[in-house]
Every structure is written in C-alpha cells, then in structure tokens.
Amino acid sequence: MKRSRLHRDVRAGRHSRLAGCLSRKVWGRFSSPALNVILVDGECVRNSYSVKFVLSGHDKVDKFIPKNEVWLENSLSDFDKRALLVHELWERRLMVGGMSYDNAHERADRLEQSVRKLSTQSVEGMLDRLVEMNR
C-alpha cells in the first residue's frame, strides 16, 4: 500500500490494525510545522503492521510512516528518545541531501554513539539545530 493511501486510511480509521498503534501524540518540543515527531506504541506497530519498526523511524526509510514524520517508541526513556531522535533527524537530513540509506545510517549510528556520552543539555542544543535543518 502506498504511503499516501495508508496515511489517508489511518486518519480515516480504515486501517484499524495500525490506527490503534498511533496515539498521534506529537512530541511538541521537537516538532515543527514542517516535521512532526510522533510517539507511537512500537509493539503495536510491529505486531500489527511491520516487524521492521524497531524503536524509531522516519518517512525517508519506512514507507508506512507518513511524509514529514519521525516516529519514536513512546515507552523509551526521555534520554533514549532524544538520542534516537538525533539519529533519525541526522539520517533523514543526509538522505534528503542525496546520501544512500546505508551511508546515512552508518553516520547516524556514529553520531548517536557520541550523543549518548553527552549531557542532556548538550543533546537538547544539538536537537534544536537538527530540527532546524529538517525544516
């Protein structure tokens, strides 16, 4: 099913397996009019739609994620959500710029590993810059 049709079906309640997984809870601190960060029930997404969804994802890789959205598993700690969001936003930005998924993912992994050694305040600053870059 194409992304746009799936997105319409979920919003209209016609794709019940996935609709129940999406609280549509926007993580407002890191969302913008151009990009929404959505907290989802990851177990529900995996059990009902795609086993490939693990912790986080974005529209440039996972075709079931609507355009201009990043999904994060709601059950994660706030720090894990932030570290994974850095990963997803950087990977997404690199892919929008033309980099392949494999190369973008490798670079995002390295950045995420570095981020996990930083203070929460430093991560917040990095996220603010990445959100701006993804607008």
Reported as a single tens digit per residue, the pLDDT across 78-110 is: 899 999 999 999 999 999 999 999 999 999 999
Q: Are residues 14 and 50 in the same domain?
A: yes
For residue 34, CA distances in Å to 45, 78, 100 come to: 24, 23, 22
Q: Are residues 66 and 96 in the same domain?
A: no
Question: Which residues form the domain of 25?
Answer: 3-73
Q: Are residues 91 and 54 in the same domain?
A: no
C-alpha torsion 97→104→65→29, nearest 10 = -80
pTM, 2 dp: 0.80
Please say whether the beta carbons of 36 and 68 come within 8 A: yes
Give the pLDDT of residue 15.
Answer: 52
d(CA 75, CA 104): 26
Q: Are residues 8 and 31 in the same domain?
A: yes
In which residue ranges of the chain is pLDDT below 70? 1-20, 22-29
Helix axes 101-115, 78-96, angle to 10 degrees: 150
Q: Are residues 51 and 105 in the same domain?
A: no
Which of 73, 94, 111 is at the close of a domain? 73
Please say whether the beta carbons of 109 and 69 come within 8 A: no
Give the pLDDT of residue 9.
Answer: 57
Give the pLDDT of residue 111.
Answer: 94
Q: Are residues 63 and 89 in the same domain?
A: no
Give the pLDDT of residue 1.
Answer: 43
Angle at 125 between CA 69 and CA 89, to 5 degrees: 25
For residue 42, CA distances in Å to 20, 71, 91, 109 come to: 11, 9, 20, 20
Strand partners, 11: none
